[in-house]
Amino acid sequence: MDAVFYIAAIVAIVSTVLAITRLNAVHALLYLIVSLLSVAVVFYVMGAPFVAALEVIVYAGAIMVLFVFVVMMLNLGKAATEMERQWQKPGMWAGPSILAAILIGEVAYLLSNPSTLAFGAAVVEPKLVAIQLFGPYLIGVELASMLLLGALVGAYHLGRRTQGKTEK
């Protein structure tokens, strides 16, 4: 069980460093997805399967869809399309694929061995999570949602083009 934790932690650290150091936004997003999935495996191994599921659903799902939407919204025309074709070479997928394969192997190991499932897990119902999120942490949740909305509007205004006007 310790080996699975350490491998997932190493994958999380490596993919996070690669996400930060990539100059290409699409490459960074791929490594960030792998990082979030590896953090979910760490939560699961630590005995928090519900938190692991929330990590996958909220962060690796919803937030990453928002990031991909912003990248797509900032598309700059034919030059960006040609650049995307160059990015979609098979070599681009090698790093995230290797790290994701390691995580898939760990999850398969966890699911095949019943003794490793949710080691020391306590049952946490979704109702208890909702009571905490919308109780004492309500302001934090709302501030995070407003921050994401502001970032989306800012990205739209930075990336939009005005029709009929040319730059001087």
All residues at 6 or more sequence positions from 69 whose CB lies less than 8 Å from its CB, including other chains? 152
Alpha carbon distance 166, 53 (integer Å)? 48
Kindly state the percentage of the chain with pLDDT values over 70: 78
All residues at 6 or more sequence positions from 67 whose CB lies less than 8 Å from its CB, including other chains? 29, 32
DSSP SS3 for 144: helix
The whole-number pLDDT of residue 13 equals 93
Alpha carbon distance 105, 88 (integer Å)? 25
DSSP SS3 for 22: coil
44-48, 109-113, 133-137, 159-163: which has the minimum mean pLDDT?
159-163
Q: Between 94-112 and 2-21, two packed helices, what is the crossing angle to 10 degrees?
A: 160
The segment with the largest mean pLDDT, out of 21-30, 71-80, 95-104, is: 95-104
The whole-number pLDDT of residue 14 equals 93
What value does the mean pLDDT take over residues 75-97?
Answer: 70
The whole-number pLDDT of residue 120 equals 56
Is there a contact between 110 and 116 (Cβ–Cβ < 8 Å)? yes
The alpha carbons of the chain give a radius of gyration, in whole angstroms, of 19
- What are the C-alpha distances in Å from 115 to residues 45, 95, 109, 111? 12, 31, 11, 9
CATH T-level topology, domain 2-123: Four Helix Bundle (Hemerythrin (Met), subunit A) (1.20.120)
The whole-number pLDDT of residue 100 equals 84
Q: Is the entire prediction scored with pTM above 0.85?
A: no
How many C-beta atoms lie closer than 10 Å to residue 71's C-beta?
17
Alpha carbon distance 155, 122 (integer Å)? 41
pLDDT digits (tens, 9 = 90+) for 125-146: 778 878 877 788 788 778 888 8
- What are the C-alpha distances in Å from 107 to residues 44, 53, 145, 167? 10, 13, 31, 52
Higher pLDDT, 13 or 112: 13
Domain residue extents for the chain: 2-123, 125-168
